């Protein structure tokens, strides 16, 4: 079987299964196996595939046909120009979260030493991008999931940031010791999908991504309320709190920030013109 034949056959299979953008999925999965860029496949359409490559491709296509997200099948994702390992233990970093990183990097003077806290780290995409942007910073990340922390630590090692990024297991609803370290900046992309909306999401998300990374099993505001409640104890004076929010949540989250004593509250839109990042200063 040649590269082109494999792509065409797999595209037809994925289309039948109801996978969107079947051809691109088929190409990306094969490119991963052949360790080349998707467009480089076009230069080798006539190349025959080795049996090993065909077996692996069959497995990848069958998993994708069962709605497993492409990023879990190939085991990584590109985010903010960097590569991150992912598995079903962590949320797949989304493009809109790049707006959160951009906003923090834009707004904060990055020469001074900064102490940063990231709540709900997942794959570790946020602390890694922030540590790369702020060379004098140190980032503490927390997550409730031990398995997520394993992936995040792997990514920290891959990006050679073990000195400046540390990850701990914490549950923000129980572990809030008085006298905990103080931070200049807190960042969080919390699970903000309400339980009602969660039920309407794509199969890829419901069947594969960690539920507690997507929904708060509540009205979507549980984490914003809790983080705003504990942040004043964790932030230095004039410290900043940055949130990613879901579509339609910005006004609600601004109010929660206000009620907890934050000022200079403002927001940023993402690439789809949706209010995506809300931030305030203590
Ligand atoms: N911080 C990670 C991200 O932004 C994970 C977020 C989450 O699991 N809710 O992608």
Q: Above 90 in pLDDT, residue 268?
A: yes
Q: Above 90 in pLDDT, residue 217?
A: yes
Q: Which atom of ligand 1 is nearest to the CA of 93?
A: 10
Residue 112: per-residue pLDDT? 84
Region 248-275: mean pLDDT is 97
Residue 100: per-residue pLDDT? 98
Residue 180: per-residue pLDDT? 66
Domains of the chain: 3-66 (1.10.8), 90-281 (3.40.50.150)
DSSP per residue over the chain, as a string? -BHHHHHHHHHHHHHHHT-TTHHHHHHHHHHHHHTS-GGGGGG-TTPBPPHHHHHHHHHHHHHHHTT--HHHHHTEEEETTEEEE--TTSPPPPTTHHHHHHHHHHHS--SS-EEEEEES-TTTHHHHHHHHH-TTEEEEEEES-HHHHHHHHHHHHHTT-TTTEEEEE--TTT---TTPPPEEEEEE----B-HHHHTTS-HHHHHHS-HHHHB-SSSS-HHHHHHHHHHHHHEEEEEEEEEE--TT-HHHHHHHHHHTT-EEEEEEE-TTS-EEEEEEE-
DSSP per residue over 124-136, as a string? THHHHHHHHH-TT
Q: For the whole model, what pTM was predicted?
A: 0.94
CB 97 within 8 A of CB 125: yes
Residue 177: per-residue pLDDT? 66
Residue 109: per-residue pLDDT? 73
Structure tokens at 214: 């997507």
Candidate of 122, 205, 220 to mutate for ligand 1, largest count of ligand atoms within 8 Å of Cβ? 122
Residue 178: per-residue pLDDT? 60
pLDDT tens, residue by residue, 130-187 = 999 999 999 999 999 999 999 999 999 999 999 999 999 999 999 766 666 799 999 9
Find the 60 Cα to ligand 1 centroid distance in Å.
25
Q: Which atom of ligand 1 is nearest to the CA of 192?
A: 9
Q: Above 80 in pLDDT, residue 47?
A: yes
Q: Above 70 in pLDDT, residue 128?
A: yes
Q: Above 80 in pLDDT, residue 110?
A: no
Candidate of 103, 121, 193, 210 to mutate for ligand 1, largest count of ligand atoms within 8 Å of Cβ? 121
Return d(Cα 37, Cα 28) in angstroms, integer. Answer: 8
Find the 54 Cα to ligand 1 centroid distance in Å.
34
Return d(Cα 96, Cα 227) in angstroms, integer. Answer: 21
The average confidence (pLDDT) of the chain is 96
Give the binding-site residues of ligand 1, using a 6 Å CB cut-off. 91, 93, 97, 120-122, 125-126, 189-191, 213
Region 88-114: mean pLDDT is 93
CB 210 within 8 A of CB 264: no
pLDDT tens, residue by residue, 173-215 = 997 666 667 999 999 999 999 999 999 999 999 999 999 999 9
Q: Above 70 in pLDDT, residue 239?
A: yes
């Amino acid at each position: 079987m040649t590269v082109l034949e494999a792509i065409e056959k797999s595209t037809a299979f994925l289309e039948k299964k109801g996978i969107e953008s079947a051809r691109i999925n088929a190409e990306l999965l094969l490119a991963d196996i052949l360790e080349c860029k998707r467009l480089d496949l076009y230069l080798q359409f006539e190349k025959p595939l080795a049996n090993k490559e065909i077996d692996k491709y069959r497995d990848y296509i069958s998993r994708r046909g069962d709605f497993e997200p492409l990023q879990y099948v190939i085991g990584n994702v590109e985010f903010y120009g960097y590569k991150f390992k992912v598995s079903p233990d962590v949320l797949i970093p989304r493009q809109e979260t790049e707006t959160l990183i951009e906003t923090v990097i834009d707004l904060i003077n990055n020469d001074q030493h900064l102490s940063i806290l990231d709540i709900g780290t997942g794959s570790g995409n946020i602390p890694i991008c922030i540590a790369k942007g702020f060379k004098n910073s140190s980032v503490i990340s927390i997550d409730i999931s031990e398995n997520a922390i394993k992936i995040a630590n792997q990514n920290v090692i891959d990006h050679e940031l073990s000195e400046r990024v540390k990850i701990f297991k914490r549950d923000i609803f129980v572990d809030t010791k008085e006298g905990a370290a103080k931070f200049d900046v807190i960042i969080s992309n919390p699970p903000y999908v309400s339980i009602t909306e969660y039920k309407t999401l794509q199969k890829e998300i419901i069947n594969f991504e960690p539920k507690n990374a997507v929904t708060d099993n509540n009205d979507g505001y549980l984490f914003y309320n809790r983080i705003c409640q504990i942040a004043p104890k964790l932030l230095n004076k004039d410290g900043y709190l940055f949130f990613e929010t879901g579509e339609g949540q910005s006004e609600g989250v601004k109010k929660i920030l206000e009620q907890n004593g934050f000022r200079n509250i403002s927001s940023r839109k993402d690439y789809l013109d949706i209010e995506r990042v809300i931030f305030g200063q203590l």
